[in-house]
């Protein structure tokens, strides 16, 4: 009697069975919701390129973040839009800076909330680059890595002093994690963690973010300090340096076009890995869904699950609240 062929479909016959044997579990605890905060009061400014997302004043931010807590979202990532910009991005490290004020307000409202603070200068400089320029001009400029490290150190301590749980340096400066770790330890913030943008690619998928954070470069681009999209081995070298310097979490950004990098980072280092589901990835789903070309709910969960399947432990996503609501239904 011939051996009967395997019926793999037996365990796909009902939603309950499918959930019971599901290999990858996506849950609200995995999600980090990003927010853009700006000066003012009672301000909720829509971001045209990111439907459903807004820039918030601090008072409105506190209200908005609270809406995610019943859904199980316990962590946020903050991006600041300063009142004024200058050549050195001084608003980033001001004790009364917009991010610092936001951290204090969020922690006062909910001490359990995990508050992560992006640390970069592109949104704070008048030229839109991620640090100090050696020469300022459209054809003759270079980012001064070492001078920028001093500003990174000051900003990290300022954010930690305000109450940030994790500092998230995103400028791709060489040595940034080590500088932050030493500065935090020396200032008495040994328990403040670092989530490093370790493999941050020079990507076309950041377009909507630049509108949201009001941070497009005034000239040139960021390809001289962000990674080439063709390189994966380089990502491993970047991650290795950050882990050695003291990163608690490493990040791959963007996520959807770099699932292979997420997998390689997780397999090689075994440390917590964050995937950033960036603005362009978010906007593509929203635009296609608005045209009726995609089922928005299913697309969100399928994309976020792919990050977990690739090896991500944490997901930074503008879909966070929508995904958390869908996960509560448990009918997909």
Six-digit token string for 181? 């770790």
Helix (H) or strand (E) holding 36: strand 31-37
Report residue 322 as tokens: 């929508």
293 Cβ contact partners less than 8 Å away, ≥ 6 residues apart: none
Q: Does residue 253 have an active-site annotation?
A: yes
Distance CA 105, CA 80 (A): 14
Identify the active-site residue in 85, 107, 136, 253: 253
Q: In Å, how far are 11, 60, 104, 313 from 273, measured between CA atoms?
A: 31, 30, 27, 5
Helix locations, the chain, DSSP H = 15-20, 58-68, 98-109, 145-162, 176-186, 207-212, 233-245, 259-269, 279-290, 296-310, 320-329
Tell me, rounded to whole angstroms, the distance of Cα 86 from its chain centroid: 24
Taking every pair of Cα atoms in the chain, the longest distance, rounded to a whole number of angstroms, is: 81
CB of 32 within 8 A of CB of 116?
yes
Active site residue 139: no
Residue 65 three-state SS: helix
Q: Are 189 and 137 in contact (CB under 8 A)?
A: no
Say which of 85, 200, 266, 286 is annotated catalytic. Answer: 200
Q: Which of 287, 314, 311, 310 is nearest to 299 (CA)?
A: 287
> Length of the chain, please?
332
Give the residue numbers annotated as catalytic, written as ranges. 200, 253
């Amino acid at each position: 009697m011939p051996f009967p062929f395997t019926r793999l479909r037996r365990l796909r016959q009902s939603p309950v069975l499918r959930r019971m044997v599901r290999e990858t579990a996506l849950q609200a605890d995995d999600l980090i919701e990003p927010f853009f905060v700006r000066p003012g009061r009672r301000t909720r400014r829509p971001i045209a390129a990111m439907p459903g997302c807004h820039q918030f004043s601090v008072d409105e931010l506190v209200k908005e973040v609270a809406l995610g807590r019943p859904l199980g979202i316990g962590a946020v990532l903050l991006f600041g839009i300063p009142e004024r910009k200058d050549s050195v991005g001084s608003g980033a490290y001001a004790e009364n800076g917009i991010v610092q004020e936001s951290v204090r307000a969020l922690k006062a409202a909910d001490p359990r909330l995990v508050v992560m603070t992006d640390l970069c200068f592109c949104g704070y400089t008048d030229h839109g680059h991620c640090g100090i320029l050696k020469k300022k001009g459209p054809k003759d400029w270079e980012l001064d890595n070492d001078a920028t490290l001093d500003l990174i150190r000051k900003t990290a301590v300022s954010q930690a002093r305000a109450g940030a749980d994790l500092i998230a340096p995103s400028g791709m400066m060489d040595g940034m994690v080590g500088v932050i770790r030493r500065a935090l330890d020396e200032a008495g913030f040994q328990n403040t963690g670092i989530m490093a943008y370790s493999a941050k690619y020079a990507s076309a998928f950041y377009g909507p973010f630049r509108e949201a954070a009001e941070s497009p470069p005034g000239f040139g681009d960021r390809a001289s300090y962000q990674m080439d999209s063709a390189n994966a081995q380089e990502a491993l070298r970047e991650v290795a340096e950050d882990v050695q310097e003291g990163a608690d979490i490493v990040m791959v950004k963007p996520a959807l076009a770099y699932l292979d990098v997420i997998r390689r980072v997780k397999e090689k280092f075994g440390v917590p890995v964050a995937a950033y589901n960036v603005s362009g990835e978010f906007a593509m789903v929203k635009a296609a869904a608005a045209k009726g070309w995609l089922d928005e709910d299913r697309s969100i969960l399928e994309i976020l699950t792919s990050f977990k399947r690739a090896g991500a432990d944490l997901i930074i996503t503008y879909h966070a609240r929508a995904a958390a609501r869908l996960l509560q239904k448990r009918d997909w």
